[in-house]
Amino acid sequence: MAIALLFPGQGSQSVGMGKEFADKYPVAKQTFEEADAALGYKLSQLCFEGPEDQLKLTEITQPAILTVSIAAYRVLLEKTPDLKPAFVAGHSLGEYSAHVAAGTLSFSDAVRTVRNRGKYMQTAVPVGVGAMAAILGMPIDQLSAVCSHAAQGEVVSPANVNSPDQIVISGSAAAVQRAADLAKERGAKRAILLQVSAPFHCALMQPAQDSLAKDLAALAFDAPNTPVVKNIDGLPTSSGDEARTALVSQVTGAVQWVKSMQTLTSSGVDTFIEVGPGKVLCGLMRQIDRSKSCMNVEDEASLQKTVLAVSS
């Protein structure tokens, strides 16, 4: 069994996430305490009790998902000490969780960095100026052409190549609307405008990328002890400097999730474990390659099921 651990990104948050682990496992409780201390406020309380509107704020969502993911990862590791993943990968924000798991970044550095990342992304573009839309049932080359045609001097481009059937576009609100309409005209199954606070992973995020680059330059990056597959190109890295550069580039660059998963499957990975809140990445895996097994670890029930599967 060749295993890759996958870590979710923004959108997987829900009130109550991580509480079951924190109540039952000291290592999870300690992870939340570490995050609270690093941030200087009770992130744990927002994860466990909400309110939901606060948990949805990008600068809170990002450290919250990272913390729940690392708490789940540490519990999984405690339960399966012989688990040796061949690779780790994370979707957008999840790439930070992957680097913490691989020992590239310290958890406290990562949690502070993603709080700032969330702030920078939120303030890069005034609310309402940008937008994102999910386009279903249109290949990437056709959708790239649609975006080029619809831009008309504004920004719109693929932002998340999530599966062969689902690609998210991002950019200026009017350009995203034009691209969504044109995609439907040209045969896309559906085009759904997303309820997001900012247009992530496009050129409008350049101010956020510039600010984040300074933060990341000041941090110590070690060589990952497990290869980390990068969002920006879908290729693995074992270099700390390359990891840092990739985390900077992904703010304006598209998340190449399909390429990332194809890299893993072509490298012999047959079992994927999504570690953290939700099952979004397992859902995408079914669209990318149904022949591969995907489990998740977000609560006690899913943990026990996964531990049983990898231990048998």
Residue 127's pLDDT is what? 86
Of 92, 170, 211, 260, the active-site residue reads: 92
Residue 67's pLDDT is what? 98
Give the chain's end-to-end CA distance (angstroms, integer).
10
Residue 160's pLDDT is what? 98
Contact 209, 248 (CB under 8 A): yes
> If you average pLDDT over every residue of the chain, what do you get?
97
Neighbouring-strand partners of residue 89 = 6, 229
What are the tens digits of pLDDT across the range 7-57? 999 988 999 999 999 999 999 999 999 999 999 999 999 999 999 999 999
Pick the closest to residue 98 from 60, 58, 55, 65 (CA basis). Answer: 65
pTM over 0.95: yes
Of 172, 201, 211, 260, the active-site residue reads: 201
**Rounded-to-integer distance, Cα 1 and Cα 12, Å:** 27
In this predicted structure, the answer to whether residue 245 has a pLDDT above a threshold of 90 is yes
At residue 301 the predicted structure's pLDDT band, cuts being 50, 70 and 90, is very high
Rg, C-alpha atoms of the chain = 19
* Cα within 13 Å of Cα(191), Cβ side: 22
Domains of the chain: 3-124+204-311 (3.40.366.10), 130-196 (3.30.70.250)
Contact 65, 55 (CB under 8 A): no
**Rounded-to-integer distance, Cα 269 and Cα 263, Å:** 9
Pick the closest to residue 11 from 128, 110, 93 (CA basis). Answer: 93
Residue 27's pLDDT is what? 98
Q: For residue 267, indicate whether it is catalytic.
A: no
Q: For residue 91, indicate whether it is catalytic.
A: no
Across the range 109-130, mean pLDDT stands at 95
Contact 228, 239 (CB under 8 A): no
At residue 196 the predicted structure's pLDDT band, cuts being 50, 70 and 90, is confident
Eight-class DSSP state of 154:
S
**Rounded-to-integer distance, Cα 127 and Cα 228, Å:** 33
Residue 1's pLDDT is what? 85
Pick the closest to residue 17 from 308, 296, 231, 309 (CA basis). Answer: 296
In this predicted structure, the answer to whether residue 195 has a pLDDT above a threshold of 90 is no
**Rounded-to-integer distance, Cα 8 and Cα 141, Å:** 26
* Cα within 13 Å of Cα(224), Cβ side: 26
Residue 119's pLDDT is what? 95
Give the DSSP letter string of 129-145: TEEEEEEES--HHHHHH
Residue 312's pLDDT is what? 78
Residue 249's pLDDT is what? 98
Cis peptide before 51 (omega within 30 of 0): yes
Eight-class DSSP state of 83:
-
